[in-house]
Amino acid sequence: MQKILQKILIMKKIILFGFMLLAFSSCAKLEEINVKDAKIKNVSFNTMTDISLDLVLTIENPNTRKILIDNVELDAWLGETHLGLVETLEKTALPPKFNGDVKIPLQLTFSSLQALTVIANNAESLNFDNLLDKFEVTGFAKIKMGAFVRKHKIERTTIKKLLESL
Mean confidence (pLDDT) of the chain: 80
Whether residue 70 is found in the same domain as residue 88: yes
User: Would the pLDDT of 7 be above 70?
Assistant: no
Whether residue 123 is found in the same domain as residue 98: yes
pLDDT for the residue numbered 93: 93
For 5, the domain range is 1-29
Whether residue 42 is found in the same domain as residue 16: no
Whether residue 16 is found in the same domain as residue 50: no
Rounded Cα distance, 89 and 70, in Å:
10
Query: How confident is residue 166, by pLDDT bands cut at 50, 70 and 90?
Result: low
Whether residue 10 is found in the same domain as residue 48: no
Whether residue 3 is found in the same domain as residue 40: no
pLDDT for the residue numbered 1: 60
CA distances from 131 to 4, 102, 161 (A): 66, 20, 12
pTM value is: 0.71
| 3-state DSSP assignment of residue 12 | helix
pLDDT for the residue numbered 22: 46
Query: How confident is residue 89, by pLDDT bands cut at 50, 70 and 90?
Result: very high
Rounded Cα distance, 106 and 109, in Å:
10
Burial class for 65, CB neighbours closer than 10 Å (0-12, 13-18, 19+): middle
Query: How confident is residue 24, by pLDDT bands cut at 50, 70 and 90?
Result: very low
Contacts of residue 50, defined as CB under 8 A and 6 or more positions apart, other chains included, come to 107, 108, 109, 110
Q: Specify the number of domains making up the chain.
A: 2
Rounded Cα distance, 82 and 142, in Å:
22
Query: How confident is residue 162, by pLDDT bands cut at 50, 70 and 90?
Result: confident
Please state, for a pLDDT cut of 90, what percent of the chain lies above it: 27
pLDDT digits (tens, 9 = 90+) for 59-83: 999 988 899 999 999 999 988 889 8
